[in-house]
Amino acid sequence: MAPTPEVISEKEEMRKWSRSMRAQGKRIGLVPTMGFLHAGHLSLVAQARAHSDVVVVSIYVNPVQFGPTEDLATYPSDFDGDLRKLTALPGSVDVVFHPPNLYDYGGGHESWVRVEKLELGLCGKSRPLFFRGVATVVMKLFHIVEPDVALFGKKDYQQWRIIQRMVRDLDFSIKVIGAEIIRDNDGLAMSSRNVHLSPEEREKALSINKSLLKAKSAAKDGQVHCEKLQNLAIKCITDAGGRIDYAEIVTQNNLEKVEQIKGPVVFCVAAWFGKVRLVDNMEINL
């Protein structure tokens, strides 16, 4: 078992640690999380270790990416359990950055980061302030931790592309790596929110991955009209009792809607089962 990671809660202490590592010529990997870690998060840690000499995992539930009617108060948390999981990994995590509040300046927070075009569609339609909060907190983490490499899961595909674009446009010297979706044995994409699904809702939620697999298979068989593929997925999910937020096929890099598949695309879905909103996607490369 690896040693328990050092826990740092203060921004300046975190920055000082990172700069001491860099002074020793070490590459720093960062895995930003909101805690309640599962196998998907742990796979990101393993990949960060492969690209870095030292690894930082941030655990911070970012309040500004939740809307007034969203699930901040019920977002699951188990910090002690997270530390145990990180300690049990074969490759050690060097630091867990666990700040109490990244927005407490005594006079409010007025500065925001926007990646204006990429944040408009998909999740941005129903959560208009979400990606403003995501981009802002990730930039803050980048400034504090000063990593060389950052790992993000492709389950949150739009988020990953937004961070990539922000890093490119604002000239951060950080390599942003997107890691493949980790699924449970039944095919459900791993998410901290899955804990809120009842057994019946979880069974119904399997329709999301099934619908994406059907659409991908149909596309490979020659069905390249996106509306038909989207309707196929929507029917599969709604027949199972899900409530669709969106089901859209977009280009992989720019997240632009397409009518026919002529190049690399990603089929992105968000759907409600009970009170839980789940997102999933599948890249299609014909």
Are the CB atoms for 76 and 36 separated by under 8 Å?
yes
Q: What is the pLDDT of residue 104?
A: 87
Residue 260: the pLDDT is 97
Give a yes or no: residue 186 inside a domain: no
Report if residue 242 sits inside a domain.
yes
b/e map of 52-62 (b: 16 or more CB within 10 Å)?
bebbbbbbbeb
What integer pLDDT is reported at residue 1 of this predicted model?
A: 64
Is the model's pLDDT at 286 over the cut of 90? no
Q: Per residue in 119-142, pLDDT tens?
A: 999 999 999 999 999 999 999 999
| Domain of 120, in residue numbers | 6-179
Longest dimension (CA), the chain: 59
Q: pLDDT grade, residue 67 (50/70/90)? A: confident
70 lies in the same domain as 210: no
Mean pLDDT of the chain: 96
Q: How many domains does the chain have?
A: 2
pLDDT of 173 strictly over 70: yes
Residues 126 and 234 in one domain: no
% of the chain with per-residue pLDDT over 70: 99
Q: Give the domain-ending residue among 158, 179, 200.
A: 179
Kindly report, residue by residue over 80-92, the tens digit of the pLDDT.
Answer: 999 999 999 988 8
In a 3-state reduction of DSSP, which class is residue 104?
coil
Same domain, residue pair 236 and 166 = no
* Domain harbouring 262, CATH code: 3.30.1300.10
- Cβ atoms 174, 150 nearer than 8 A: yes
pLDDT of residue 142: 98
Tell me how far apart the alpha carbons of residues 55 and 87 are, in angstroms, rounded to a whole number.
12
Query: Is there a single domain that holds both residue 156 and residue 244?
Result: no
Structural domain includes residue 246: yes
- Specify the CATH number for the domain of residue 57: 3.40.50.620
Q: Residue 47: what pLDDT?
A: 96
* Position 63 pLDDT exceeds 70: yes
Same domain, 82 and 222: no
Task: Quick: pLDDT tens for 199-212.
Answer: 999 999 999 999 99
Which of 102-111, 169-178, 215-224 bottoms out in mean pLDDT, i.e. has the lowest? 102-111
CA distance 175 to 187: 29
Decide if 184 is inside a domain: no
Catalytic-role residue among 38, 41, 98, 143: 41
pTM of structure: 0.96
Same domain, 159 and 220: no
- What pLDDT digit, counting tens, does each position of 258-272 carry? 999 999 999 999 999
Active site residue 225: no
